[in-house]
A and B are shown apart, each in its own frame.
Chain A
Amino acid sequence: MIYADTSFIASAYGKDVNTAAARSYLLREEPTLPFGFLHWPELTRFLWITQPEVADKIWDLVSEDLMERKKLAAHEADANRVSRRAAGLLRHYCPRWQKLRCLDTLHVAYAVEENFKTFLSFDIASYQRVLASSQKLKVWPPLTESEKKLLK
């Protein structure tokens, strides 16, 4: 049960500094990644900003992959339930991590609510991966030393 946040999926369908890492993981694990309500707007924005000439073609590929359900599978979760879980996480963690962002927290809440075990994210600059680890999700790539310090 693997959940990838949009930073990971964006690296697989676009081309950024993390594409090589995403590629090696995906070739090794061949996972079917869930694609939920948070991914739709974030991936759209990323593709139309970074690859405007071919964004339509990439989107066709995403749509095709969602229909085939081998690489991506449309995943439905109750947005209210996920949001309430995110609010709970924020209430608990944002006094300590004041830069913890709502959208990042929603991804972690989604993974927790839907019982995913592994959390893929390249969002090292935020508290998202640290939060995921605090919720007993296995984070990949592994937490950096500075992220580990935030857990203490």
Chain B
Amino acid sequence: MTLLQTRVEDRVAAKFRKVALRQGLKPYTYLQQLITAAADLPELNNWSGHWVRMEALHLRDGNTSFSEIRAAADER
């Protein structure tokens, strides 16, 4: 199956070719590698992908719980 016959600006194509050659690959082989890697990425809109997105937010460590936060405000 052929995928992504995409027209891009000349400067983008030239840069892509340069990066591929720098890695010892032909541009098409490099493009195939990128597509394969992208297909292996977790889906971000399910619960598996959810944690990837949450980790990127660098949340504060929570040593408390929702119940304790409520109780701290005397929320009944």
A interface with B by C-beta (< 8 Å) = 6-7, 10-19, 23, 26-27, 30-31, 45-46, 49-51, 53-54, 57-58, 61, 64-65, 68, 70-71, 101-103, 122-126
Contacts and interface: CB of A to CB of B under 8 A. Distances in A.
B57 A57 contact: yes
B75 A27 contact: no
Contacts of B64: 16-17, 50
Given A23-B51, A50-B69, A126-B67, A65 B62 contact: no
Given A49-B69, A68-B45, A102-B76, A58 B57 contact: yes
Interface residues of B, number: 23
A112 B55 CA distance: 34
Contacts of A6: 66
Most buried by A among B45, B47, B57: B47
Nearest to A31: B47
Contacts of A18: 65-66
> Top 6 A-B pairs ranked by shortest CB distance?
A16-B62, A7-B66, A15-B62, A26-B47, A15-B59, A10-B66
A92 to B, nearest CB: 19
B58 interface: yes
Nearest to A33: B47
Given A30-B46, A61-B53, A71-B47, A122 B66 contact: yes
Interface in B15-68: 45-48, 50-51, 53-54, 57-67
Given A70-B45, A123-B67, 13 more contacts: A10-B66, A16-B63, A18-B66, A19-B62, A23-B51, A26-B50, A30-B47, A31-B47, A45-B69, A57-B57, A61-B54, A70-B46, A71-B46
